[in-house]
Structure 1
């Protein structure tokens, strides 16, 4: 365990879907249904190219209008929650996750930052017997704005007050993970990421890995 200890890095932030867990969430359907709901509710215009958006960017845009009623906000999140619950049911771990977490636990502060609801995230992590490894799970209820906003990462830094952003590293599969992490000042490692999309979105990872255990190279 001591062989992977680096005095510079004190904490690691993990994305959850398709980083720790093999998610089967239908993100395309979630994005489509969320967008159509917001169009029908007249919070967003028609004609958007959904290939250029994620569910999180659509929701962020709708919330930024500051005109949504509490009822519509709740119904919007219910759409996401429906897909999250269905997609996380029976989700399995990515290869090597338990081995990695066993090595990191007790050496580094470990956190999860996910756009999922906290309850759904903790349930999925508990079902796969890895919740015990984490010191903090940050879901959307603990953010003012979801990823790609840095709010979730800033929540982590505020929780671990004795550490700085430069003493953390994060890992995730999507450009929104990288965008949020880098905006908070935390270096980002892309795991099985879409390099072209990351470049298009202005995300420049510190490194890229295809096996989660390769994260140890950066610690």
Structure 2
């Protein structure tokens, strides 16, 4: 695995024509927000807060999968009612933050005419989130779990993006921070770049976006999308 380093940028960066981003943990730091969201639901049905293991789970999986994991079946209707009454943008968005260096990286990719997409296990909040941070203009398509029959780690979402772009898998990179991202990329034969998680099997490890942008700085910026 190559560790992203501005002193020795890898040659494969010059071949990248599209980049797929995971959302939570990559575009945004949302761990506290996710914990708060699911704890509010648990609190609403009289349950204790999430365990550390449950916190890890809800940070990666779709809402449906998360609720099935943390709420007993006999309490599900009650939990869904609590969920419906939550104002997600009003109560949760203030605790979500853009990852450092993201805006500058998006601008760099845009100047290089590299296509960008989002593939997330969020169900119906990703578009609102992207608009909230005014970064929605960078991404097309935006693939959420709600648009898929099979969410990550199934490769359906990645294949949907490749088909929309009409690009071969080897010319695209997938930036993610979880094993679900790694497995989804691998199943679609798309090179995987691990963000802030050196434990994953990846072509490249990215410690931060400023370093990745520095690696791109020496490459030519006039590319055909």
When normalised by structure 1's length, the TM-score is: 0.67
Q: How does 1:50-89 map to 2 (within 5 A)?
A: 54-55=57-58, 56=61, 59=65, 86-89=91-94
Q: Is the 8 A contact 2:33 2:95 kept in 1?
A: no
Say if 2:114 is the partner of 1:117.
no
Structure 1 residue 89: deviation in Å? Answer: 4.2
Aligned counterpart in structure 2 of residue 212 of structure 1, from 201, 204, 209 = 209
SS of the counterpart of 1:25?
helix
Say if 2:174 is the partner of 1:146.
no
Q: How many residues align?
A: 186
Say if 2:26 is the partner of 1:19.
yes
In structure 2, the partner of 1:42 is none
Aligned counterpart in structure 2 of residue 163 of structure 1, from 159, 167, 172 = 167
Structure 1 residue 132: deviation in Å? Answer: 1.0
Say if 2:183 is the partner of 1:179.
yes
Larger Rg: 2
Per-residue Cα deviation, 1:157-216 (whole angstroms, up to 9, x for no partner): 1211x2111110011111111111111111111111161xx4xxxxx1111111123334
Larger relative contact order, structure 1 or 2 (CA cutoff 8 Å, min sep 6): 2
Measure the CA separation in 1 of the matches of 2:150 and 2:105: 30
Per-residue Cα deviation, 1:132-173 (whole angstroms, up to 9, x for no partner): 11121111122111112212111111211x211111001111
Across the aligned residues of Structure 1 and Structure 2, the Cα RMSD in angstroms comes to 3.9
Say if 2:113 is the partner of 1:131.
no
